[in-house]
Chains A and B, each alone.
Chain A
Amino acid sequence: MEYARQIEHADIVHRCFRCGYCKFPEDYVDFNCPSYKAFGWDTFSPGGRMWLIRAWLNKELETSPHFSRILYSCVACGNCKDQCVYPRFKDYLLNVFEEAKAELVNEGRIPPEVRDYFKAVSVNGNPYKQPQEERGQWADGLGLKEFTDQEYLFYVGCVGSYDEVGQRMARSVGQLLSETGVSIGILGKEETCDGHEVKVLGETGLFTALAEENIMKFKKKGIEKIITLDPHALNVFRKDYPKLRGNFEVFHYTEILSQLIRNNQIPLSNYQAKVTYHDPCYLGRHNLILEPPREVLKGLPGIELVEMRRKGLSAFCCGGGGGNFFTDMVGSGENNPARIRIKEALDTGAEIVAVACPQCAKMLDDAIKSEGQEDWLEVLDLSELVNRVRSK
């Protein structure tokens, strides 16, 4: 019998009108779907994906490397879900994309980059193919304690653990939190991948295994509250772990920082700089944490916040979501989203792009180099910026 493709939300796929509202931010200033912007074919727009998925489910189209690229170059930024004009189904657009990818995984027809990612995570517990033993090294010399009975687990994730830019950020956040008296513990070499990108890329089996293992571990250690470095981890802990009975109180570090600043718990001096803020998709659009990072910036003496043209719910993604941070299906040319974002940041006249996600940090850092703008612009995570303003 011929294999019939099936996805859970098949009943809404035909309802897309391909009107294209989803390509734009709320005020239409420029195309806001990063993969459409990068590739410039309607097939790479949200509506294009919907129509192609329908044709593919109906067997009007066969699986091909190009089709896989179309699906996997979606950065899951969620702009389409916010902007689609059809309230009765728009919330499920990303489910459709994710389910279609999961179906590709079932068919075993995924791009090599994606396959390598899954393999690395399942073999090594991280996509960097680095030894588990070294996972905690980012914290060396900081004096951060293993989690025992502290109030919060500080969960850093794969990027914070292994990537150079991520590690810098993890150290900075970890140090700031502990020095300001927030009771945190880390898992160090016991930490494993949260599975967020695995899930978004469609490997539901591997995701469930990772998540269940984490949930068991967290429960065993008596963890109730978690602070995440990475908004991606925040997203999966908040939205998907509860479905596997992993109910924790999950915060992003910027939420904690904004409280500390509000309560004057961080002694501050003054640091003069013009700063723009890049909303990470998994913080802003996906979890509506828009104000806390801005409260932090506004609370720093000397810092002038200058917003980019696209911000908040209309922010333009750095291009790293949907696993693209690792698989890079979007490509790095002129139309690479991070490079576009950096140009937008330069337009504000800011000298610092503040970020709140290690993946954005790395993407934008690289883009500054590709654009040759190292002398003018610098990427700093919010905690690094706070450190500059802190009274020494």
Chain B
Amino acid sequence: MKNIYEALVEIMGERGVSNRPEEIWFYGRDPGVLPPHPPDYVVAPETTEQVQKVVQLANREKIPVVPMGNGMALTGLVIPLKGGIVMDMKRMNKILEVNEMARYVVVEGGTSQGMLKAHLRDHYPRLRHSLPDAPPTTTIAANVSLHGQGCLTQQYGFNSDMVSGLEVVLPTGELCKIGSPSLGPYWFSKGPSLPDLSGLFLGWLGTTGIFTKVGLKLYPNKKIREMEIFVTDKAELVPEIIYKLTHLEMLEDLIAWFQPKPLMFKDNYHLTIYFTGDSEKEIEFKRTMIWDALQEFIDNKDGGFMNVQAMKPNLMENPQRGIAAFADVPRGGGFEYSGPITLIELYPQFAAKVVELAEKYDVIYSSAARVISGGHSMMFSISFAFNRADPAMMERVKKALDEATEYALKMGGIPWKPNYMEQKMTMDHMDPNTLKLLRMIKKNLDPHGIMNPGNWEPAP
């Protein structure tokens, strides 16, 4: 394989390629529970041309290519299951254009969420994007490639719904623009009113191409952001509470969560309700509407608004640093979650399942469900923390997560950012004709199966 290395150096320069043991070791794993697998090379492109050339080389030589952001999907999606080249996209981190009036931004394929946030705050304070609660080093391209969700998902849908154009290096090396940028200079639509080709890439976990540019819709950044937390002890009331709240059409973000520790959270379900306004008047009006919407639960003593003063500084952070902190609960640097997309009415069943799994496998749980597009569905996270120095605990977490996914599928849910085994389970559940279509698309786009192989790889 020496000549491959040299060919890569020729494309990337010395600074852009590594086959040294340290990079090979590091880029062969992610922070989740799946076992590592080493790549043969790691590359870190700075230009689209480099991406193209590497993919062309890989396609010619039939070498796997795995695009990687910050590796924080946790489900092994950037572990090179079949070796080959891991492509760290993070050096392509420019913010290329903000169209303030049309409210969109164009970023490179490795631009991080954090940098976009800072850029907008500095230069476009009237605009914001749908930040996920993932660490700010995670990338926008990766997030849309796995249908992520962020703080504006309750209002506007999956973060991938907010894509407003793409530039993709196809598995055969051609560069392809998707949506309005394929016709002119503007990045305002990923598809409509054309056939929406973005569906060939969004949600494919890097198996059908590599995003080198992403157009992303931006939204009004109101001057004031506020929050309340409603608490109930009955899981079966959560769907109705969410229904009443989403009916208001006034919320920014809505998250239902429960966890056994610290003790104050025990036995309760919490709904963190975010809302925004440009004036105190607007905020107070919305707050009043929110209180009124849930008054009947208060009257029945089924729930109430808790004092949020102490928690507010943490919960108002965007992204919330505290979420990552779950990884250190067992003093061990790890957590992973299964996050099926499912119906909100199934909340009580899923909630019960989390507790059941945690007991069965003796692991520490927490769960947060983010409401998606006004209540059409939710991402229900089933999170388990583990201690990286305790392989047995990691194994238990793995089993618990597998069982969670099986359950989600049984309940008619869709696994989110599934690992390769969960993808297999999903495909096993899928309507055969749908699967056939999926296979056909993948085969046509990636004839040699080089793109993130092992993922969305239907058995022939």
Instruction: Please give the residue numbers on chain A whose beta carbons come within 8 Å of chain B beta carbons, in ascending order.
Output: 14-21, 23-24, 27-30, 39-43, 48, 51-52, 55, 60-62, 64, 66-67, 70, 85-86, 88-89, 309
Inter-subunit contact B136/A89 (CB<8 Å): no
Inter-subunit contact A20/B135 (CB<8 Å): yes
> Bound complex: CA of A86 vs CA of B135, how far in Å?
13
> Bound complex: CA of A66 vs CA of B118, how far in Å?
33
- Chain A's closest residue to B321 (CB) is A85
Inter-subunit contact B328/A61 (CB<8 Å): no
Cβ of B249 within 8 Å of any chain A Cβ, yes or no, is no
| B42 partner residues in chain A, CB cutoff 8 A | 41
Number of A-B residue pairs at CB separation under 8 A: 108
Interface of A is mostly: loop
- 22 A-B pairs within 8 Å (CB atoms) are namely A14-B333, A17-B334, A19-B135, A19-B324, A20-B137, A21-B136, A21-B321, A28-B112, A28-B113, A28-B118, A29-B115, A29-B122, A39-B15, A40-B90, A41-B44, A42-B71, A42-B88, A42-B90, A43-B22, A43-B23, A52-B22, A86-B325
- Chain A's closest residue to B322 (CB) is A85
> Bound complex: CA of A67 vs CA of B25, how far in Å?
12
The answer, among B113, B117, B333, for a CB contact under 8 Å with A17, is: B333
- Chain B's closest residue to A45 (CB) is B137
> Bound complex: CA of A19 vs CA of B325, how far in Å?
10
Inter-subunit contact A17/B31 (CB<8 Å): yes
Give the 6 A-B CB pairs with smallest separation, nearest first.
A28-B114, A20-B137, A29-B118, A19-B135, A15-B333, A85-B321
Given contacts A16-B333, A28-B117, A40-B44, contact A21 B324 (CB under 8 A): yes
> Bound complex: CA of A228 vs CA of B137, how far in Å?
38
Inter-subunit contact B118/A17 (CB<8 Å): no
Given contacts A17-B333, A43-B26, contact A66 B20 (CB under 8 A): yes
> Bound complex: CA of A23 vs CA of B71, how far in Å?
14
Given contacts A23-B137, A28-B115, A55-B25, contact A18 B31 (CB under 8 A): yes
> Bound complex: CA of A48 vs CA of B121, how far in Å?
29
Measured as residues with beta carbon below 8 angstroms from the partner, the interface class of chain B is 35 or more
Given contacts A43-B26, A48-B26, A60-B25, contact A24 B325 (CB under 8 A): no
Q: Please, what's the 1-or-0 string for B318-342, where 1 marks a CB less than 8 Å from any CB in chain A? A: 0001101101100111110000000
> Bound complex: CA of A246 vs CA of B117, how far in Å?
47
> Bound complex: CA of A17 vs CA of B137, how far in Å?
13
| A48 partner residues in chain B, CB cutoff 8 A | 26
Given contacts A28-B136, A41-B42, A41-B44, contact A17 B327 (CB under 8 A): yes
Given contacts A18-B71, A28-B118, contact A64 B22 (CB under 8 A): yes
- Chain A's closest residue to B328 (CB) is A86
Cβ of B70 within 8 Å of any chain A Cβ, yes or no, is yes
The answer, among A19, A29, A40, A55, for a CB contact under 8 Å with B137, is: A19
Cβ of B72 within 8 Å of any chain A Cβ, yes or no, is yes
Give the Cβ gap from A93 to chain B, nearest Cβ, in Å: 13
- Chain A's closest residue to B21 (CB) is A61
| A29 partner residues in chain B, CB cutoff 8 A | 115, 118-119, 122
- Chain B's closest residue to A66 (CB) is B20
| A309 partner residues in chain B, CB cutoff 8 A | 122
- Chain A's closest residue to B15 (CB) is A40
Given contacts A20-B137, A52-B22, contact A14 B389 (CB under 8 A): yes
Cβ of B91 within 8 Å of any chain A Cβ, yes or no, is yes
| A67 partner residues in chain B, CB cutoff 8 A | 21-22
Give the Cβ gap from B195 to chain A, nearest Cβ, in Å: 37
The residues in B between 184 and 217 inclusive whose CB is less than 8 angstroms from any CB of A are none
| A18 partner residues in chain B, CB cutoff 8 A | 31, 71
> Bound complex: CA of A381 vs CA of B389, how far in Å?
48
> Bound complex: CA of A217 vs CA of B25, how far in Å?
48
The residues in B between 1 and 60 inclusive whose CB is less than 8 angstroms from any CB of A are 15, 18, 20-23, 25-27, 31, 42, 44
> Bound complex: CA of A43 vs CA of B19, how far in Å?
13
Cβ of B417 within 8 Å of any chain A Cβ, yes or no, is no
| A20 partner residues in chain B, CB cutoff 8 A | 70, 72, 135-138
Inter-subunit contact A52/B331 (CB<8 Å): no
Inter-subunit contact A19/B21 (CB<8 Å): no
Inter-subunit contact B22/A61 (CB<8 Å): yes
Give the Cβ gap from B259 to chain A, nearest Cβ, in Å: 17
